[in-house]
Amino acid sequence: MTYRLLISLIFAGVLLCAPVFVTAQDNTTSDTLPELTIHVVQRGESLFRIALSYGMTVQELAELNGILDVSNLQVGQRLLVPSADSAFAIPQSHTVQPGETLSSIAELYNVEITMLIELNNLPNANQIYPGQELMIVGDIEPTLAETPDIALNPNSAQSVTIPDNGLPTLSTNLHTVQSGETLYRIALQYGLTVPELASANSITDSTRIFVGQQLIIPNANNTPEAALDLPRPIVGLDVKPLIFIEGETGFISLNTEIAATVTGQFLGRDLRSIPLDDNTQHLMFIPIPLFTDEGIYPISFNLSNSDGTQITFAFNMRVAAGGYGIQNLDMSAELQRLLVPAVQEEELNIIQRITSEVTLERYFDGAFSIPAAAAMNGEYGTRRSYNSGPVNGVHSGADFAAAPNAPIFAAASGQVVLADTLNIRGNTVVINHGWGIFTLYAHQNALNVSVGDIVTTGQIVGFAGSTGRITGPHLHWEVWVNGVPVNPLQWTQQIFP
Ligand SMILES: [Zn+2]
């Protein structure tokens, strides 16, 4: 039975609503009837694209929905389409995985690269990045490709359109948040973790989702295994999260089948590789500095291999905005004196120099502990203006409302590399946790450790106070990765290997 005939039967059945019609069909026919579901038309969609998504022709879709004018489609309009479970539903979206190329993805789905480029509105075959949702339509009837919608939709020069945010609106891979749902519940429903779902949607605060919000569901059920396309001797590539976030820490692990030395570059900075397993595993912690513009950036690696060969390897990473707020601080003239750029720069240079060291020994294990038994009262990443002046500062750490002389605890094990008085941060302790990771504890009344001390998680490093440039007693806590201050809370929530 042809698809067109099936559609005609359903359409006739809907129109006639005649039970006798249904019972008149033989069993083999009714078993193969496609189940139908509703597709809500999204901004940027054309009937051509929707038809393509569901493996139908424009005529079939129009007929099924009684549409006479195929160029007149309204956003929010509800269309009958074959359900995802039906044998006729071919559309899928594919979340690009690290190590995949457009060519390997095309091969996986048995489609043409040019089709993927056109369908996803890509500038060229190299413009894909991990975490990107690509629309895939396989096994297209040859006649469909010869049916340009330009003839049907004369006002549209480009048949396949993508909304402004660059993300496809394929309904099968979007979840619209319902009243009473939490990110946790939604993640559970799709077999994802909260961080996976949050990072796919650039959500920094998992408590802030709203009813009606459309969430991208990465690695949906219909996504097959990754189509890795890695150059030898690379045999494994892990990237976390798939989309990097401004102000946070990214992580990349490369596995090689022979020993190798790995160097690399991202955002104009050298990557620092931690070699493990006789130089066959290479870990890289990648800080994304605050104020990094949202966008797609190349990341490149150079491998010097033990067999004498050298290779370069590169792909794109997307950086999403951190979504940090803006805050005004009132400061006395005395404290403002310390805002002089030279004073700030001098102090930053000291901390940057210390935190750019990479110790190959790792002291930390698991997620970091909160460094004070107090509520957080200042978020990392907040842009700052002073005395209602221009926004020219940023909060490089997280603040805790620790009472004067309350104990301050080491967030993880490590070695004390600074225990001194700084102009802005006051009495400060810096702990080296190894692998280029450091924590900093500022504004203390008194210090309880000295440079060179080995400390363990929870050990008291000092006592809270209000030394340095400060408007009231609190603990200012920073995490530095390879010389860049990053969101400390990420390290309390996420376990890096
Ligand atoms: Zn602070």
Instruction: Report the separation in Å between the CA atom of 7 and the middle of ligand 1, taken as the mean of its atom positions.
Output: 64
Percent of the chain with pLDDT over 70: 81
Instruction: Report the separation in Å between the CA atom of 167 and the middle of ligand 1, taken as the mean of its atom positions.
Output: 36
pTM for the structure as a whole: 0.67
CA 87 distance to own-chain centroid:
32
Instruction: Report the separation in Å between the CA atom of 445 and the middle of ligand 1, taken as the mean of its atom positions.
Output: 15
CA–CA separation, 201 vs 131, rounded Å? 10
pLDDT of residue 109: 80
- Vertex 489, ends 487 and 494: CA angle to 5°? 105
Instruction: Report the separation in Å between the CA atom of 210 and the middle of ligand 1, taken as the mean of its atom positions.
Output: 29
Quick one: which H or E segment has residue 175? strand 174-176
pLDDT of residue 56: 78
Instruction: Report the separation in Å between the CA atom of 395 and the middle of ligand 1, taken as the mean of its atom positions.
Output: 6
Residue ranges, CATH 2.60.40.10, the chain: 234-320
Q: Is the pLDDT of residue 13 over 50?
A: no
CA–CA separation, 279 vs 19, rounded Å? 71
CA–CA separation, 343 vs 181, rounded Å? 48
Q: Is the pLDDT of residue 169 over 70?
A: no
Instruction: Report the separation in Å between the CA atom of 355 and the middle of ligand 1, taken as the mean of its atom positions.
Output: 18
| Sign of the dihedral defined by the CA atoms of residues 61, 64, 65, 67, in that order | positive
CATH number belonging to domain 332-493: 2.70.70.10
Instruction: Report the separation in Å between the CA atom of 442 and the middle of ligand 1, taken as the mean of its atom positions.
Output: 8
Comparing 389 with 223, the larger pLDDT belongs to 389
Q: Are 119 and 137 in contact (CB under 8 A)?
A: yes
Instruction: Report the separation in Å between the CA atom of 458 and the middle of ligand 1, taken as the mean of its atom positions.
Output: 20
**One-letter amino acid for residue 236 of the chain:** G
Instruction: Report the separation in Å between the CA atom of 476 and the middle of ligand 1, taken as the mean of its atom positions.
Output: 4
Q: Is the pLDDT of residue 137 over 80?
A: no
Instruction: Report the separation in Å between the CA atom of 242 and the middle of ligand 1, taken as the mean of its atom positions.
Output: 29
Give the long-range contacts of residues 212-215, CB within 8 A, separation 24 or more: 212/176, 212/177, 213/176, 213/177, 214/169, 214/174, 214/175, 214/176, 214/177, 215/174, 215/175, 215/176, 215/177, 215/186
Residue ranges, CATH 2.70.70.10, the chain: 332-493
Instruction: Report the separation in Å between the CA atom of 374 and the middle of ligand 1, taken as the mean of its atom positions.
Output: 14
Beta strands in 44-123 (DSSP E): 78-82, 91-95
Q: Are 224 and 108 in contact (CB under 8 A)?
A: yes
Instruction: Report the separation in Å between the CA atom of 17 and the middle of ligand 1, taken as the mean of its atom positions.
Output: 68
Assign 138 a pLDDT band (cuts: 50, 70, 90): low
pLDDT of residue 28: 38
Taking residue 25's Cβ as centre, other Cβ atoms within 10 Å add up to 13
Most confident of 118-122, 149-153, 484-488: 484-488
- The CATH-assigned architecture of domain 234-320 is Sandwich (2.60)
Instruction: Report the separation in Å between the CA atom of 292 and the middle of ligand 1, taken as the mean of its atom positions.
Output: 21
Instruction: Report the separation in Å between the CA atom of 238 and the middle of ligand 1, taken as the mean of its atom positions.
Output: 33
Instruction: Report the separation in Å between the CA atom of 227 and the middle of ligand 1, taken as the mean of its atom positions.
Output: 44
Instruction: Report the separation in Å between the CA atom of 209 and the middle of ligand 1, taken as the mean of its atom positions.
Output: 27
Q: Is the pLDDT of residue 11 over 50?
A: no
Q: Is the pLDDT of residue 14 over 90?
A: no
Instruction: Report the separation in Å between the CA atom of 413 and the middle of ligand 1, taken as the mean of its atom positions.
Output: 22
Q: Are 423 and 347 in contact (CB under 8 A)?
A: yes
Query: What's the token pair of residue 491?
Result: 């390290």
Q: Is the pLDDT of residue 173 over 80?
A: no
List, for residues 427-478, the tens digit of each pLDDT value. Answer: 999 999 999 999 999 999 999 999 999 999 999 999 999 999 888 899 999 9
Assign 12 a pLDDT band (cuts: 50, 70, 90): very low
Instruction: Report the separation in Å between the CA atom of 266 and the middle of ligand 1, taken as the mean of its atom positions.
Output: 28
